[in-house]
Structure 1
Amino acid sequence: MARYLALLRGVNVNGRTVRSADLAEAVAGIGVERVRTVLASGNAAFDSDRSVVELKPALEAALAERFGYDAWIVLVTQEALAAVAAAYPFPRTDDDAHPYVVFGSNERALDAAQAAIGEPDRAVELIGRGAGVLYWRCPRGSSTETPVAKVLARAAYRSSTTTRNLRTVEKLAVA
C-alpha cells in the first residue's frame, strides 16, 4: 500500500473555500484509507493500493461533484515527494527569498512551462528542473509578480501545475 499526497490547485483562494473536514470526507469517499488533510492549502494524504492512473481521475471527479468546480490535482507518492524536497537545488534559507516547488501532473506541461520561462534573470530568481517538478526561488513578497510567476499563472498551466512552498513540501513528506 502506498501513501499518496493529493495537491489541489486553486482552493482557498479567489473565494473558493474548501474546509479541511469536507476535503477529508470527499477524499475518503473514493475508498482510500488513513485520510488526513495537511495545512489549509488544499493538501490531502491517504493510503491506497490503487495506481495514480486510477486515483487521479476518481479524486478529481469526487472533488468536482462535492465542491462544484473543475477540480485539478497533482497526485504524488509520499516517497517521491520526500525525494523532491531533499533534491531542492537552491539555498533553502534566506531572509530575502522564498523556495518553491512547482508540481506538474505531466512532464509535457513542465517542459512547456520551462521553455516559456526561458532563462530568468538569476539575480532575481532561479528555476531548475527536477523529476516531475520545477524548483523555483524568488524574492520574498514577489511570488505573483516575477517573470516566472507570470508564466506559471497562464491558463495553459492552470490544470496541470500547482505550487507549494518548500516548507509545506517538507511537512507533506512526513504526513
Structure 2
Amino acid sequence: MDSYAVFLRGINVGGINIKMAGLREALQSAGFSDVRTLLASGNVVLTSRLDAVAVKRECEKCLRDAFGYDAWVVVLDAARVSELVAACPYPDDDKSTHTYITLSSDEAMLDELDAAGAALEGVEQQRLGPEALAWLAPAGGTLDSPFSKISARPKFKASTTTRNLRTLIKVRDAAAKPGSAGS
C-alpha cells in the first residue's frame, strides 16, 4: 500500500460544503484505507494499492457521486510532498509575506501559470518541480495579489489547487505518522 496526499479544489468555499467526517466516510467506502483529513479545506492523507493516476480518478468519481459537485483533486505521493516542502526556498512563517505552493495535475497548465506569473512585475515565485510552483504574497493581501488573480482563472480550475506552506508541512507530517490526522 502506498501513502498519498489528496488535495481537493474548492471545497468549503463558494457553496460547496463538505464535512470532513463525511469526506472520510465516502473515501473509505470507495476502498481507500487509513483515510485522514487535515483542516477543513480539503486535505486528505490515505493509502491505496492504486497508483496516483488511479487514486485521482477514483477520488474525483467518489466526490462527484457522494457530494454532487464537479470535483477536481491533485494527488501526490506522500514522499513527494516531503520533497516539495524541503525544496521550497521561502519561509513557512513570516509576518510580512505568506508562502503558497500551487499544485497541479497537469504540467502544461502549471507551465502556463508559471510563465504568466513570471511576466508580472514584482512577483516572487520558484518552480519546485513539474507539479508545484511556490510563490509569495503579502500578508493580508493574498487574494488581491496579481498571481492569485491569475491562478484563480477558470482555465486552471480543473488542474490546480493552492495551499500555504504551513498546510503542506501539516500534510507531510500527517503522512509520516499513520493515524495522526483528523478534523
TM over 0.5: yes
Superposed CA offset, 1:108-140 (max 9, x none): 110011122233333xx4111111101011101
Question: 1:171 corresponds to which residue?
Answer: 170
- Once the two structures are TM-superposed, the CA of residue 95 in structure 1 deviates from its matched residue by 0.6
Question: Percent identity over the alignment?
Answer: 38
Residue number in structure 2 paired with 1:56? 56
Moved more, 29-38 or 87-96: 87-96
- Asked whether 1:106 is paired with 2:95, we answer no
Q: Relative CO higher for 1 or 2, CA cutoff 8 Å, sep ≥ 6?
A: 2
Paired position in structure 1 for 2:126: 128
Please say which of residues 91-100 and 113-122 is displaced more in the overlay.
113-122
Structure 1 counterpart of 2:15? 15
Q: How many residue pairs were aligned?
A: 173
Name stretches of at least 5 consecutive residues in structure 1 with no aligned partner: none
Unaligned stretches of 5+ in structure 2? 175-183
Match of 1:2 in 2: 2
Aligned partners of 1:83 and 1:18: how far apart in 2? 29
Cα contact 2:8–2:72 (8 A) shared by 1: yes
Q: Answer whether contact 1:33 1:47 (CA < 8 A) is retained.
A: yes
In the TM superposition, 1:24-173 aligns within 5 A as 24-122=24-122, 125-131=123-129, 132-173=131-172
Please state whether the residue corresponding to 1:174 is helix, strand or coil. Answer: helix
Measured against aligned partners, the alpha-carbon deviations of 1:127-165 in whole angstroms (never above 9, x if no partner) come to 111111010111011111111011100001011100001
- TM (norm. structure 1) is 0.94
Bigger mean CA offset, 125-134 vs 158-167: 125-134
TM-score (norm 2): 0.90
Question: Aligned Cα RMSD in Å?
Answer: 1.1
Alignment check: 8 A CA contact 1:82 1:173 kept: yes
